[in-house]
Amino acid sequence: MIKKIIILILLVINPLISSAQELGYHSQGKNGIVAASEKAPVQAGIDMLKMGGTAADAAVSVILAEAVVDYPRFNMGGEVIFMYYDAKSQQVKVLSGLGEAPLSKEGIEWYMKNGIPSSDIKAALVPAVVDVCVKALQLYGNLSFAQTVAPTLKLLESGKIVSSAIRYSLSAVSSDTSWYSSLAKTFRKLIEAEQSFNGTREQKLQAVADRFYRGDIADSLAAWYKATGSFFTKEDLAKHETEVEEPVSINYKGYSVYKTNTWTQGPVMLQALRLIENFDLKKYGYLSPRYIHIVTEALKLSLADRDTYYGDPLFVKVPLKNLLSDEYTKLRYPLIDLNKASDECRPGDPVNMKALIGKGEYLKVMGGTTNCSVIDKWGNMVAASPSGWGSEAGAGGSTGVTHGTRLKSFNTLKGHPNCIEPGKRPRVTLTPTIVLKDGKPVLAMSCEGGDTQDQNQLNFFLAITEFGIKPYDAVTIPRFNTNLFQGSFEPSSNRNKALPEKRTLSIREGLSIEDWLSLIKLGHTVNLDQNKVNIGHPAIIYFDQKEEMGYGATDPSTARFTGAVK
């Protein structure tokens, strides 16, 4: 068995060495594109496409490699929000890839009394990565788990892992590589489970998930949870299952824009687009002071609604249909004053159809996510947001499964739609995007940046579709963000604690002094952000339907790469 695994790894990895130099910050091709994080994950995805894999196969290989190379932004105990466009059915589906809060009622009572920690094991969700990868392969893939994990095994066994993520780490465990060998052993166990099971391809893949969540690996994790003071047990692992969901979508000037449901912040972009479509952006020009003002004010209104109404729809009733309705949009867009910036939280009332319900408070931004966008030669497309942000808890004992800190995306305010409950998913910031036109793919977008992810993707979308800007230019020209929102990483029951130190409009360098002064005159407190990494790490794919050509684009300042199948 071990000999077979080694041979398989060598067969998959050899092409990595010969073609790594082909990767860069923009790419084009007709046989498949990958845009993601570091070079090794991108190349892993490219090689899956070369082997006849689908966009799902390539994305899974990228994601598994990123759990090592882009640690601690992302880890095997983290989460992956996974969107897939199937070219045959011309449908978009969402694989939730998000873990849950502990099932323990006593544990939830502890959080409500003591608060949610920021970094130790009590800040983690149920690990979701293995199950979402298996589900993606089962539903949309051609390859085996063994094939898709082979590049990652090679990386772990070499110990020579190059990552820019370590430089930005806030995690004490990030420089500790002792978990590499433990995680490699776990992967080999999962390969063994797949190859030793006598059944269909789908059943073999299910054996992978079963061993992780219900077998000996789950036993090891459960023992570690008990030893480290976690509220998780083996039952939490056994009950975890990736939800396959319908996306949320709107039509914007002929483009169908698809996002995830309100267990993420995804509908924020859709709400903002509904507001923006009432203004003639072309009249003002891309990145003009008036354009920046309108988009920023639309985002402020949308984010205020997010912080008031969004939560896991399996647990709470979210008035999403009303939030995206024509009637509600007509009430809200007049709140955008073309001559004055708002400095208040202004949620509306979509249930009773009122433009405003009151005022609120907010927090500043943080980030800890990576990227994955793929299109294959058949036109299947993936947009995924892998994340987790490594904790200080350690690496899952003997499993090497480092855990994340996404539980802190809940809050402890009783009655709030995002208040922590047993088995509930937090409302997270992770928000990939797929855009279609006439039922065919146009854009896949994945972006880091916490609460700013949809802000960045909204601007990439408008740049490309509204103004005809080339993908590579769209991800490198100045980006801007508002911080007027409740921070998604402040779990306190006192939402006033989410107040930012200063309510600002951050702009990456590149605008003229004249434009900067114009925004100040409109009432914006402008922060000219010299730190490029703070405003997103985009990895996007644009498909030109007329040329039948794919284009990958990443920002060179953010250590993200793209490559094409020649």
Question: And the tokens for 35?
Answer: 């845009």
Contacts of 237 (CB under 8 A, 6+ apart): 126, 127, 212, 213, 214, 218, 221, 222
Of the candidates 35, 99, 40, 98, the residue with the CA atom closest to the CA atom of residue 71: 40
Q: Could you tell me whether strands 549-554 and 440-446 are parallel, antiparallel, or unpaired per DSSP bridges?
A: unpaired
- pLDDT for the residue 352: 92
497-538 pLDDT per residue, tens:
555 666 788 888 788 889 989 999 999 988 876 554 356 788
- 1-14+22-260+364-566, what's its fold? Glutamine Phosphoribosylpyrophosphate, subunit 1, domain 1 (3.60.20)
Write down how long the chain is: 566
Instruction: Note the pTM of the prediction, 2 decimals.
Output: 0.91
**Residues lower than pLDDT 70 in the chain:** 1-21, 160, 162-176, 358-369, 389-391, 486-502, 529-535
* Residue 363 pLDDT: 36
- For 284-300, how does the pLDDT look when each residue is reduced to its tens digit (9 = 90+)? 999 999 999 999 999 99
C-alpha to C-alpha distance for 141 and 307, rounded to whole angstroms: 36
Residue with tokens 């996404």: 406
Domain spans of the chain?
1-14+22-260+364-566
Cα separation, 13 vs 271, whole angstroms: 44
Environment class of 280 (CB within 10 Å of its CB; exposed 0-12, middle 13-18, buried 19+): exposed
Cα separation, 84 vs 209, in Å, equals: 20
Label residue 403 exposed, middle or buried (CB < 10 Å: 0-12, 13-18, 19+).
Answer: buried
H-type helices in 27-84, by residue range? 39-50, 55-69
CA angle 366, 481, 363 (to 5 degrees): 45
Provide the pLDDT for residue 366.
40
Tell me the two tokens of residue 303: 């984010």
Residues 6+ apart with CB under 8 A from 336: 275, 279, 294, 297, 298, 301
Per-residue confidence (pLDDT) for residue 372, from 0 to 100: 86
